[in-house]
Structure 1
Amino acid sequence: MLIGLRGLEGVENGGGHRSPPHVRPVAVIDIGATSIRMAIAELHESGEVHLLSTLSQAVHLGRDVFSKGVIDKATIEECVRVLRSYRRVLAEYELSRPDQIRVVATSAVRESMNKLAFQDRIYTATGLQVEVIDEAEVSRITYLGVQPLLKSDKQFAEWGTLVVEVGGGSTEILVLQNCDVQFSQTYRLGSLRLRETIEAYQSSRVTIRHILETQMRRVIEQVSQHVNRSEIRNMVALGGDMRFAAHQLGGEVGHDGMLRLKVNELEQLTNTILDLNEDKIVHKYHISFPDAGTLGPALLAYVQMAKSFQLDEIHVANVNLRDGMLTDMASHGALNEDFRNQVVRSAIELGRKFNFAEAHARHVAKLCKILFQGLREEHHLEPRFELLLTVAALLHEIGLYIGPSGYHKHSMYLILNSELFGLSRTDVMLIGLTARYHRKTSPKPTHTGFTQLDRDQRIAVVKMAALLRLADALDASHSQRLHELWFAREGSRLVISLPQVEDLALEQLALKQTGALFEETYGMSVLLRKLRQ
């Protein structure tokens, strides 16, 4: 079996696409800080999403959690009532199987001290399994939703674009250059948190506004540390508050389907709303009381962000978390090529930050790709682990930035304490441990992090680490000279034949020093052999 080593694109474009069935109905439910929203849609074989119905009901999760740290019993029962009503709607669409319905909860439930009790109560009462997603998963889903819009307009490819969504509990920011993610971060600064700040101060509106602007300025300063302001020429705003503003101001619709709002006009509307109390906002704009309480702070956050980057215009996208979830379900949760590329680019940028040996890291990553694909019958890992192994390979030596002694441990530390776009905390832990075990030491029950994993995760780490050791040994010379690998199993040995190579002494020595883990894991020793052609 011959698997050739391809160019750089081979690392960044890996993975296939699993075609969905012709048409299937699905539903997604988003349990947020201020409301529970549901979308029902049909997913077509082409990947097209046809929206059938949407529902939204206000809840007080954020109010409870952001002030007390727990979800009140009454609020839990309020959520049960809402979700039971959604269940009845789902039954009308004949949606009942777990693979047809995805329910996620974001910042409010994620931060609550009784989130397990909340999840158990919802499951007991409704049969719905609530998945509490972290910031990285929210960023990934948001990117899936907004990506088609950004690719439809060439101006987003020419200049940097700031994508901002101010939710009830947090503000999510993506910075893209040529539609590639350059920066991704979620901040604990949401409209409901800002509202809590307002209620904590019995001061004049001028003082309250100053307090709000000060909090927002801190976030903007943190973003500016990672972004060149002069390169940002576009801002895309997500969220219901900005869609409300676009409706009020009648923004111009671009050919990409997004509305364009003038920042000065948005600021005028924001000032008007901040000068009104909740009763007057509800009466004037015919919105709910929960929305009225958070509208002003949210719009002020968008205005401040746009002004800090000296932008005159904001693009308002009719995209939300549920759109991204539906897109994700249309692909059966498979990591599409573009998303994989974004994750790999994020890893490469992190490596450059720590002055990694980029040529060696990329080559080891490509060797890992070849080994992963060529030894599928041995490792039986899901395709997504190929991406995790690639990232671990790219970053396995970044610990040298701290020092050569124990650098594999430093690599793990840096990985665990850095931002990698689109990867969950669990994914990052798996990557960090895989990098840690690329040298002589094998996993031990006493190792931090390893014991926190479940059995399947521990086994996946060991399998990936063994492949990473083998790939690293194959580039022991750091010369990137191996371009093809032939695999064959001879009894209890895996024979890797290498064409057009005369001397394998260095690779064989490296393999002798680190190859024990591969034999322990896969039950095969590895023999390197020169292939005569």
Structure 2
Amino acid sequence: MRTVAVIDVGTSSIRMAIAEIQPEGTIRRLETLSQAVHLGKDAFTASEISRTTIEDCVSVLRSYRRKLEEYGITRPEDIRVVATSAVREALNRITFIDRVYVATGLFVETLDEAEVHRITYRGVQPLLRAQPALFKADSMIVEVGGGSTELLTVEQGNVSYTHAFRLGSLRLQQTLSAYRVPRTKARQVIEGEIHSQLEPFTELLKTHTGANMVAMGSDVRFAAEEVLKQSVSDDRLVELTVEDLAEFTDYVFSRTEEQLVNEFHLTFPEAETVGPALLVNLRLANILGANRLFVCNMNLRDGLLRDMSEGGSWTEDFQKQIVRATWELASRYHVDEDHARNVADLCRQLFRQLRKEHELDDRFETLLYVAAALHESGGYINTSSMHKHSMYLIMNSTLFGLTADDLLLVGLVARYHRRAMPKTTHQPYASMDRVRRVIVSKMAAILRIAIALDAARNQRIRQIECTRVRNRIVISVPSVEDLSIEQIALRRNQTFFESIFGLEVLLRSQMKSTVTERTML
């Protein structure tokens, strides 16, 4: 059994959840804490976190640290501190992170949008699976936060689209304050802001008309509990009709912040942002043509705890989601799919059979597969300097589950699938730390070998067997007698591999006799 903690540094509060993870992976929540801060008000108006707010955050995190010590939670691997849009957008985020570390010893990890989507998916997926009819149907998962609105479209359990809108309840409320909008026109102005943010995506969203809408977030959960007079449980989604949501939203806007605080026992920051958040949910439901919402009690901290219970590893299902998104992107850039799939499959075999040589974690197998699938995507722009165009497209694309750092690594591996090897004059390769530079080189070297094995582009080599014989890697191919084309290509492509691993690569057909094999070696 393991006791862990996750801390979410949000736009308006810092929340901590402490839980026990049982040996079989079951999570039992022990305690939750929440303290209000003004990160969002600083970051969204001045683009910087003020010194006063930084010290307020330090004070909260110090108190959380003392609480962790009471529970005996001291190991870094048992504590995860994350920050989202407010810290991510602040120009002085590094100063903030460094100050927190110096004062508390806690490292704040700034999550990008892709990581938030990954954690959200992992948290919501069990709830969808618990209702088979809902899991098999198309669903749109929506979370309206203080700084942004996260959206994931799931088709029969597979993520097909993700996006983050700069459309948060705190941002909307600050628009009212910045322009001193009178209370009588507040709703009209907020609806105009929501429309301007969603309008470019309206046609795309309408293609999912009829999809179930799964709503996350404390504001919509508050509305559901007040309307239905029941709490939203951790293990099941609760239905709320759009008509009831609209009526409750009207009521919220008919009351002042003071009245909302007194009637519903909200804090003033919550009373200020609940109306804008409900309007965003309502607008999205109307675009989808939904007549009901499925409200869940899942939040970012639940997803983080689930991530820790699984060791932070990429599950098989999650990797399938990444691969699925990769082939959709490859199709968009008109890659030669037969060649790309075979190269990607060969990369996977090489990665697994050369594990002792490259010593990379399993997650890099998936990243190598993605790079192999997209290594010729640059041809969509121009076949000249295709490898550089591939890097550009990958780094500037959105792939579910992959962070900006992941995309940078994948883009560089694709960039070095041919031509020159990495140099210190190449950006952004030169700006990476040594560990990541070595990882790029190892993966790119393996990719070049896989490309050589499909040099004829007819996919006749699909299965290989790698054996190390002294300072050589012998790649044996069954059922293919003439390998002259691939051997010529391998001579061109193996230099990178040899310079990284210090091993020569030989290609042999298993159709030849064992005696001949030994003689040649």
TM-score, normalising length: structure 1 = 0.93
Which of 36, 57, 60 is 1:79 aligned to? 57
1:186 aligns to 2:145 (yes or no): no
Which residue pairs with 1:475 in the alignment?
A: 454
For 1:105-504, what aligned pairs fall within 5 Å after superposition? 105-205=83-183, 207-227=185-205, 229-250=207-228, 257-504=236-483
Query: Residues 53-80 of structure 1: CA distance to partner in whole angstroms, max 9, x if unpaired?
Result: 1111111100111111111111112112
Which amino acid is 1:512 matched to? R
Instruction: Pick closer, same or farther for the CA change 1:355–1:227 going to 2, 3 Å.
Output: farther
- Residue identity opposite 1:364 in structure 2: V
Paired residue type of 1:200: A
Runs of at least 5 residues in structure 2 that lack an aligned partner in the other structure: 514-521
Helix, strand or coil for the counterpart of 1:460? helix
Does residue 33 of the first structure (1) align with residue 11 of the second (2)?
yes
Distance 1:131 1:256, change over 3 A: closer
- Distance in 2 between residues matched to 1:309 and 1:496, nearest whole Å: 53
Residue deviations 1:253-305 (CA, integer Å, cap 9, x gap): 79961111111111111122123222222122110011111111011000000
Q: Tell me: higher relative CO, structure 1 or 2? Use CA pairs within 8 A at least 6 residues apart.
A: 1
8 A Cα contact 1:251 1:260, kept in partner = no
In the other structure, the counterpart of 1:505 is 484
- 1:268/1:332 CA distance change after superposition, 3 Å: same
Q: Whole-Å Cα distance in 1 between the matches of residues 299 and 503 of structure 2?
A: 49
Alpha-carbon distance between aligned partners in 2 of 1:214 and 1:502, rounded to the nearest angstrom: 69
- Flag the 1:435–1:227 CA change in 2: closer, same or farther, 3 A: farther
In 1: Cα distance, 2:433 partner to 2:480 partner? 41
Give CA-to-partner distance per residue, 1:362-383, whole Å, 9 cap, x none. Answer: 1111111110010011111121
Residues of 2 paired with 1:49 and 1:255: CA distance?
12
On the 8 A contact 2:342/2:462 being kept in 1, the answer is no
Alignment root-mean-square deviation, CA = 1.7
Query: In percent, how many aligned pairs have the same letter?
Result: 49
Name the SS of the counterpart of 1:515 in structure 2.
helix
Shift, 1:207, TM fit: 3.8
SS at match of 1:235: strand
Larger deviation, residues 106-115 vs 203-212: 203-212
Provide, for residues 74-125 of structure 1, a one-character-per-residue CA deviation record: whole Å limited to 9, x for no partner.
1112112211221222122111111111111111111112212211221222
Deviation at 1:206, TM superposition (A): 5.5
Cα displacement (A) at 1:227:
4.6
Aligned equivalents of 1:76, 1:203: Cα separation in 2: 29
2:465 alignment partner, SS class: strand
Deviation at residue 395 of structure 1 after TM alignment: 0.6
| Alpha carbons 2:476, 2:508 under 8 Å: kept | yes
Check conservation: 2:209, 2:290, Cα contact below 8 A.
no
Equivalent-residue separation in structure 2 for 1:468 and 1:79 (angstroms): 46
Amino acid at match of 2:357: E
Q: Which residue of 1 aligns with 2:519?
A: none
Q: CA deviation at 1:359?
A: 1.8
